[in-house]
Chain A
């Protein structure tokens, strides 16, 4: 299991906003968006599975994010595509809050998700 990386402090991300961890920093093949919504943290591959768009720039509400470009929705918990025009899921990553710090487990699926 990969070592987690610290991406910020609790409070750095406002409610219904996201922080983008660049691919280089994450050591991953895509930017990773870390979302904060309704008191919970989530992380997904930032790029929409439909076309080239940043989900971190999207509309975040509850446990869903809507792509800002063509309005495909994804589950923040599972990465599942919830409506067209997307039909493929996006990858989740595990996020943990330790000592008021946000730690991202790059490549580790969110709890309960298959890799």
Chain B
């Protein structure tokens, strides 16, 4: 299927010309092309379920957080009755940002341009001079802030989508539910964020999305120096325990999610920091985890819920926002078990700070790769040549043992990346969710239907 021209005489870049998944090849243009990017905003970002907030970020009535779906700013607001609503942070009058701060508590949101005022639910409640300067038939009910029509709370995490036809969130998660639960549904007391960093990087958003989805193998090269240093640290997981030929597994889900972890059932290796390991080893906590997750509970490593909700084993939990084809913004929280003692929480905080924050060692390693890749793509020859996804030696298994969905019996594999891009291409080609579902079923990897 070929995309239609926007306007007469203007050709549109066709994603199908840039991707050949059978050959494991992606052309650099898909990380640089403005036209592809604009298609992504429409076909990926307004259609996917995106992370908005955690319950603990907006505990009380009137509490709000500003976040983004793609490039669209949205407000997520705790209502007076305890429910949550979310809407586009754009005034219906002249398009100013309704609320200019990142987070706070509000009784109402008043635009600082002309003073149109919105209730906590986004309804337009007050228009200055309505009585004497507007016609009688002007009706405020016609101009609410644009609501995000679909919201869901998944175990404390709020997700939203603009697409009324999107499947329910759990259907969207598919097999990823099992793996995500392994990170976020372990403890009776739930989770809370204790640190928050935001930064921007000069690279295409897909470079980063791909990594927690599929790429564990870079870590043994890119991060080898940092890993060496951190292994001596009191907070980090001891990465030497993984050995030279590590065991592990990678999973992928229909709608582009993926992840991987070291170790396997019966011979687990630590994927979390030392304080977390110690805290979770306490009998009453271990019992909680076993009760909630069953006997297979060490599946933590890295994970991405497409498009960009990322969770790592040391509990940096983040969302990234695209900022044009060549930039992205990262919003990264450090989450801890709410019931953990202060020393454990602080150890988790330090470990994440040293690794996955703007000054973190792993983060700096990764940022260098992505920035260089983006720089190289300024070259015309470079953009035309393909990136290679051929690490598919380990076979895909379906519903193997305790592992639902498709997974690969190797911690190093390109399968989840290929699946992610397969879903991406299907989103770019599909006109609606029904079409997308059909395409995904057709393109399910490693399974004869």
Contacts and interface: CB of A to CB of B under 8 A. Distances in A.
User: A and B: real partners?
Assistant: yes
B115 A58 contact: no
Contact of B115 (A57, A59, A68, A70): A70
B395 interface: no
Contacts of B128: 51, 70
Contact of B126 (A58, A59, A69): A69
A100 interface: no
Interface in A29-76: 51-53, 57-59, 68-71
A18 B152 CA distance: 32
Contact of B117 (A58, A59, A70): A70
Contacts of B126: 51-53, 69
A59 B107 CA distance: 8
Contacts of B107: 57-59, 68
A57 B119 CA distance: 11
Interface residues of B, number: 10
Interface in B63-121: 107-108, 110, 115, 117
Contacts of A68: 107-108
Contacts of A51: 115, 126, 128
Among A51, A57, A58, A71, residue most surrounded by chain B Cβ atoms (within 10 Å): A51
- Tell me whether chain B's interface is mostly helix, strand or loop, or mixed: mixed
A53 B117 CA distance: 10
B411 to A, nearest CB: 53
A71 B107 CA distance: 11
Contact of A70 (B110, B130, B131): B110
A58 B115 CA distance: 16
Interface residues of A, number: 10
A71 B130 CA distance: 18
Contacts of B115: 51, 69-70
A46 to B, nearest CB: 14
Contacts of B110: 69-71
Contacts of B117: 53, 69-70
A48 to B, nearest CB: 10
A45 to B, nearest CB: 17
B332 to A, nearest CB: 32
Contacts of B130: 52
A52 B128 CA distance: 9
A49 to B, nearest CB: 14
Contacts of A53: 108, 117, 126
A70 B108 CA distance: 9
B93 to A, nearest CB: 14
Interface in B115-151: 115, 117, 125-126, 128, 130-131
A68 B107 CA distance: 6
A51 B108 CA distance: 14
B48 to A, nearest CB: 35
Interface string B398-409: 000000000000
Contacts of A69: 108, 110, 115, 117, 125-126
Contacts of A57: 107-108
A59 B115 CA distance: 18
Nearest to B127: A51
Among A51, A53, A69, A70, residue most surrounded by chain B Cβ atoms (within 10 Å): A69
Nearest to B106: A68
Interface of B: 107-108, 110, 115, 117, 125-126, 128, 130-131
22 contacts: A51-B115, A51-B126, A51-B128, A52-B126, A52-B130, A52-B131, A53-B108, A53-B117, A53-B126, A57-B107, A57-B108, A59-B107, A68-B107, A69-B108, A69-B110, A69-B115, A69-B125, A69-B126, A70-B115, A70-B117, A70-B128, A71-B110
Interface of A: 51-53, 57-59, 68-71
Given A69-B125, A70-B115, A70-B117, 11 more contacts: A51-B128, A52-B126, A52-B130, A57-B107, A57-B108, A59-B107, A69-B108, A69-B110, A70-B110, A70-B128, A71-B110
The 7 A-B pairs at the shortest CB distance, nearest first, are namely: A68-B107, A69-B117, A68-B108, A69-B126, A57-B107, A69-B110, A69-B108
